[in-house]
Structure 1
Amino acid sequence: MDKQTVTIYDVAREAKVSMATVSRVVNGNANVKSETKDKVKAVIERLGYRPNAVARGLASRRTTTIGVVIPDVTNHYFAELARGIDDVAAMYHYQIILANSDESNTKEVQVMENLLGKQVDGIIFMGNIVNDVIRDEFKKADVPVVLAGLLDEQEEQPSVNIAYRAAMTDATTRLLKAGHKNVAFITGDLNHYMNKGHRLLGYQDALATYDIPYDEKLVFQGNYDYQSGYELAAAVKASNATAAVVSNDEMAAGLVNGLTDAGVSVPDDFEMITSNDSKLTVITRPQLSSITQPIYDIGAVAMRMLTKLMNREELAANDIILPHGYIDRESTKK
């Protein structure tokens, strides 16, 4: 018999048990006599039966799959988050469907609709912003949604993050304490709540503590990628800033190379602290000092929250904040 065509019916017939009993054995249900279990397992082994995950999902009205919406699959930060999600998903016997949204709100809606069309059991959403259109998609979805590394201004979805405002205050304070008066703040779109409502405020908190007036000319917006960081170097150099906090490692890598190519030595002429402590921070020369955050853990905790929601369990907390820290490397003076 071709192993591809062996069905649960064939196993039940050969083992002389019901299909429900075979299903219970396959799914590890304890409510089966050990003698019966051994008999069914022996038939499964002999026939080479491989349970069809999709068929099992249809029978239980669950597909055993999770949709993961990721804004840029090539970004080290999101790739590390996805690893944490995948490892915990595997522990709970879920497979993930990774969907790349290309940093586009229009594509995010399309990706959400595609995932829901595949009847996923839950969604982990990573991105840069939760707007009204995305909120509507969440409401339409008949499955739980958890945000990872993303904040919702209306706090409607469960989420896992670090304290971005406090982290940015800490980083900016280090540069101010080192004697810098003109510290640039380099980030993505300031319309994004995480930037406008958290990171920028953290930067401003540090300035206020040192009685340094906030100067909009020292705030630079980019596209969360290497090229935009590189292209910002000329404007940052012209601004008379002597240091910068950067909210994204790819932008920081671009900025450090752009400044170096423009004849600015990091850290001798210009000090820099980035935010995610992804692998990029040790690939650059000089290596980048950074806020540290448990990127893998953010993904893993988000997935664990999702498993609870899918099992209709109560969450101990709707919004989980994991600890951040700081690591000193070569883009800041000792």
Structure 2
Amino acid sequence: MGPTIKDVAKKAKVSVATVSRVLNNQPGYSEKTKKKVLQVIKEMGYQPNAIARGLINKRTQTIGVLFPSVSSLFSSKVLHGIEHIAHERDHSVIVCNTDTDGKRTMKYLQVLGEKQVDGIIFTSEVLTEDYYRVLKAMNIPVILVSTFSLRYPFPYVKVDDKHAAYHATEYLIKQGHRKIAMISGTEGDEIAGTPRIEGYREALRDYGIPFQENLFVFGDFGYRSGCAAMKKLLERGEEFTAVFAASDEMATGALSVAYQHGIKVPDQLSIIGYDNLQIAEMSVPPLTTVAQPLFEMGKLAAEMLLTMIETGVTVESRIMPHSIIERQTVAKPL
């Protein structure tokens, strides 16, 4: 059996209450006493009991994170950032895979409530009235990532999707392209789908290029939907010299179909993606894309959540910068 808090107090010649205050960063001791207690803890190899500590500070040192698809490259990068900060700040992370249609979201919110997590990071999903009602009843801090709500104003961390999609389309236009197709995300997706469509259409409009229904097709952000969408575009027989895909996975699918049809990228067709996932660097040729700082978004969301947990003060929402990462899938049209 390892040393107890009483053993630490005895060796440091202080009370158990003082050791507890030091462990929980509470006031009531000198800097000299703090150093002495921490030194004894180090020497004895004392490990604070998380349950006992939770009874003192009313916290579990645990946060919950909800993703529509934990296995996606997008989610893994955001999660990496969240865990980096959480572990640095001595917090555990419970990850919940809510599925793409959110059918498990309510169940996992209930589980996180039962686990008495100190806060929740809610990602990529529409914040419905039901979700908001449950989150509000839990009475803990909540941060949204890659989603937001005007009706339910939880603080959020995200990129301006409309602006980023505008920037991607404008980049193709400035390369000389005027026949630009778009592979969009899921139809009806208010978070990442509709804003990226609006950005694409607004860029076309600003540069005097008419929107063509035959050059637009929905996907679902995944690789297979990118393949299917690219096949649809080719089957329609409408000429286009460039494709803006609303995710890197769909852009990679479009690249694959182009290769299967003997279409050379970027000589005959330019393709730009969205996210700057590792798959963009690994594709052949390497994919030009709009970069979202996903790791940094995860880190910032965790920092904001822990600040709210520790201070009780609501933090400001943050719009993160995006950028175009130029690789080898975009060129001027022939």
Say which is worse superposed, 283-292 or 81-90, in terms of deviation: 81-90
Task: State the partner residue of 2:184.
Answer: 187
- Between the aligned partners of 2:47 and 2:312, the Cα distance in structure 1 is 30
* SS at 2:243 equivalent: strand
| Contact preservation (8 Å) 2:293, 2:321 | yes
Inter-CA distance 46–67: structure 2 relative to 1 (3 Å threshold): same
Q: Deviations over 1:91-147 (max 9, x none)?
A: 332221122222231112222221121111001111242233323332232211101
Residue 60 (structure 1) aligned with residue 91 (structure 2): no
Distance 1:20 1:311 in 2: 21
Q: CA deviation at 1:231?
A: 2.4
Alignment check: 8 A CA contact 1:12 1:22 kept: yes
> How far, CA to CA, are the matches of 2:127 and 2:24 in structure 1?
37
Which residue of structure 2 lines up, in the alignment, with residue 51 of structure 1? 48
Alignment of 1:111-122 (within 5 A): 111-122=108-119
Q: 1:268 to 1:128 in 2, by over 3 A?
A: farther
- Normalising by structure 1, what TM-score? 0.89
After superposition, the Cα gap between the structure-2 partners of 1:155 and 1:40, relative to the gap in structure 1 and judged at 3 Å, is closer
Q: 1:25 aligns with which of 5, 22, 26?
A: 22
Q: Is the 8 A contact 2:132 2:152 kept in 1?
A: no
Alignment gaps of 5+ in structure 2 = none
Q: Distance in 1 between matches of 2:113 and 2:154?
A: 17
- Match of 1:156, SS? coil
Q: Deviations over 1:208-260 (max 9, x none)?
A: 11222223332222222212212222112223233211111112112211221
Give the C-alpha shift of residue 315 in structure 1: 4.5
Aligned length: 330
Counterpart among 151, 154, 163 of residue 154 in structure 1: 151
CA RMSD after TM alignment: 2.4
- Does the residue aligned with 2:275 lie in a helix, a strand or coil? coil
Q: Secondary structure at the match of 1:125?
A: strand
- Does the Cα contact within 8 Å between 1:152 and 1:193 map onto a contact in 2? no
Task: Say which SS state the counterpart of residue 236 (structure 1) adopts.
Answer: helix
After superposition, the C-alpha distances for 1:34-89 in whole angstroms (9 at most, x for unaligned) are 67556655764565431112321132110011111122222222211112212222
Matched-pair contact (CA < 8 Å) for 2:102–2:125: no
Q: 1:98 is matched by which residue type in structure 2? A: V
- Equivalent residues of 1:187, 1:246 under 8 A apart: yes
1:87 aligns with 2:87: no
Residue of structure 1 in register with 2:304 after alignment: 305
Q: How far did 1:322 drift?
A: 1.5
TM-score, normalised via structure 2 length: 0.89
Matched letter for residue 325 of structure 2: I
Q: Is the 8 A contact 2:61 2:92 kept in 1?
A: yes
Partner of 2:289: 290
The whole-number CA distance in structure 1 between the counterparts of 2:176 and 2:245 is 18
- Rate the CA distance shift 1:257–1:60 in 2: closer, same or farther, 3 A: same
Shift in alpha-carbon separation, 1:330–1:15, aligned structure 2, 3 A: closer
3-state SS, counterpart of residue 251 of structure 1: helix
1:1-334 matched pairs, under 5 angstroms: 2-3=1-2, 6-12=3-9, 17-29=14-26, 31-33=28-30, 37=34, 40=37, 44=41, 48-154=45-151, 156-239=153-236, 240=238, 241-315=240-314, 317=316, 319-333=317-331
Q: Which amino acid aligns with 1:265?
A: K
* 244 and 54 in structure 1: CA distance in 2 versus 1, 3 angstrom threshold: farther
Given the superposition, is the C-alpha separation of residues 255 and 155 from structure 1 closer, same or farther in structure 2, using an over 3 Å criterion? Answer: farther
* Rounded Cα–Cα distance in structure 1 between residues aligned with 2:280 and 2:269: 17
Cα shift readout 1:265-286 (whole Å, capped 9, x = no counterpart): 2212221111111111100001
